[in-house]
Amino acid sequence: MSTIFGIPPQALFGQLLLGLINGSFYALLSLGLAVIFGMLNVINFAHGALYMLGAFVAWLLLTTAGIGYWWALLLAPLVVGAFGVVLEKTLLSRLYKLDHLYGLLLTFGLALIVEGAFRHFYGVSGQPYPIPDLLRGGQNLGFMFLPNYRGWVVVASLVVCLATWYAIERTKLGAYLRAATENPVLVQAFGINVPLMITATYGFGVALAGLAGVLAAPIYQVSPLMGSNLIIVVFAVVVIGGMGSILGAVLTGYGLGLLEGLTKVFYPEASNIVVFVIMAVVLLIKPAGLFGRER
């Protein structure tokens, strides 16, 4: 048995793994977008740029200060999160009383500025980022070869997504967050500092993007355009999963990554558009998304 459905198993599993890797990034990014949208009602167009910023912070830490991958995994999300907090405090918070479109426009403009700045200083050719020593090499699983670093990315993103889901659905802080998403005025009238929660939520959401950026640095190259390449697909993922649904964002992220991988095996020509075709179909049948609630 050397083929499955006429495809060599190496190719099939290889593409599935690639799909799972892409799915991991889709999930991490759409999770952040979903958390932010739920609480702030802002479609954060700067998400891709902040993902890129995370990768660049890791790269700059390495090349200028000699700080390696593991510290970057902690520091880059903190830097990106802090940047997000400043953005929310100084700019976004002024827009909550206006139409959602203003938040979208502002974050889109911010994305252009951040990306433009990095293009100006570092050009568009990518910078390589080495895989950390601990995760070099790979495992021969018999049916396929699994590079250690790719396995790590899948596991790390799964852990982060599950932890975030648990924090939101099962803890006290998460209950505040869910309640404030539904009725911020009443939650405020119970004595909870809702503006602070909003700032923290935005900081956390973009920190997730920063983390995804660090995870991505050794796989893709660190380039100013890495965010805008990815974010369009991620927005499609969020639309398919349902705006503001945490679980929806995560499941759709992995699911669509895998589906994209499968398409590459069976009908490569369609692999770039399969996500958008699904988005169109979902919007026709369930406008609120697979896991979304009508509001």
Partner 1 sequence: MLEVSDLHAFYGESHVLHGVNLEVRQGEVVTLLGRNGAGKTTTMRSIMGIVGKRTGSIRFQGQELIGMAPHKIPRLGIGYVPEERGIFASLNVDENLTLPPVVKDGGMTVQQIYELFPNLQGRGSTQGTRLSGGEQQMLAIARILRTGATMILLDEPTEGLAPVIIEQIGVAVRKLKQRGFTVLLVEQNFRFAATIADRHYMMEEGHVVDMIPNNQLAANMEKLHTYLGV
Size of site (CB under 8 A) for partner 1: 18
Q: How far is the CB of 282 from partner 1 (least distance, A)?
A: 22
Q: Does 295 bind partner 1 (CB under 8 A)?
A: no
Which one, of 38, 46, 42, 31, lies nearest residue 253 by Cα? 31
Least distance (Å) from partner 1 to the CB of residue 75? 32
DSSP, collapsed to helix, strand or coil, labels residue 222 as: strand
Q: How far is the CB of 80 from partner 1 (least distance, A)?
A: 28
Hunting for tokens 């005025």 — which residue is that? Answer: 185
In the complex, minimum distance from the CB of residue 217 to partner 1, in angstroms, rounded to a whole number: 36
Q: Which is nearer to partner 1, 136 or 293 (CB)?
A: 293
Residue of 185, 207, 246, 236 whose CA lies nearest to 88: 207
Site for partner 1 in 173-202 (CB under 8 A): 175-176, 178-179, 181-183, 185-194
Burial status of residue 34 (CB atoms within 10 A of its CB: 0-12, 13-18, 19 or more): buried
Evaluate the CA torsion angle 9, 14, 20, 26 in order and state its sign: negative
For the CB of residue 170, give the shortest distance to partner 1 in the complex, in Å.
Answer: 10
- DSSP H/E element including 217: none
Nearer Cβ to partner 1, position 196 or 284?
196
**Least distance from partner 1 to the Cβ atom of residue 192, Å:** 6
Complex with partner 1: residue 197 or 251, whichever CB lies closer: 197
Q: What distance in Å separates the CA atoms of residue 165 and residue 167, rounded to the nearest whole number? A: 6
Say how many residues make up the chain.
295
Residues from 194 through 253 that contact partner 1 (CB under 8 A): 194
- Our CB check for partner 1 shows the closer of 189 and 277 to be 189
The verdict on 172 binding partner 1 (CB under 8 A) reads yes
**Given the complex with partner 1, which of 99 and 182 has the nearer CB atom?**
182
In angstroms, what CA-CA distances link 2 with 6, 8, 22, 266?
9, 6, 27, 17
Residue 251 identity? L
- Residue 38 beta carbon to partner 1: minimum distance, rounded to whole angstroms: 10
Beta-carbon contacts of residue 256 (< 8 Å; ≥ 6 apart): 23, 26, 233, 236, 237, 240, 275, 278
Site for partner 1 in 98-117 (CB under 8 A): none
How far, in Å, CA of 235 to CA of 250, rounded?
A: 13
Binding segment for partner 1 among 20-28, 109-117, 158-166, 172-180 (CB under 8 A)? 172-180
Question: Under the criterion CB under 8 A, does residue 96 sit at the interface with partner 1?
Answer: no
Nearer to partner 1, 124 or 175 (CB): 175
Q: For partner 1, give the closer residue by CB, 251 or 278.
A: 251
- Strand 138-140, strand 145-147: pairing: antiparallel
Q: Which is nearer to partner 1, 33 or 187 (CB)?
A: 187
Interface ranges with partner 1 (CB under 8 A): 172, 175-176, 178-179, 181-183, 185-194
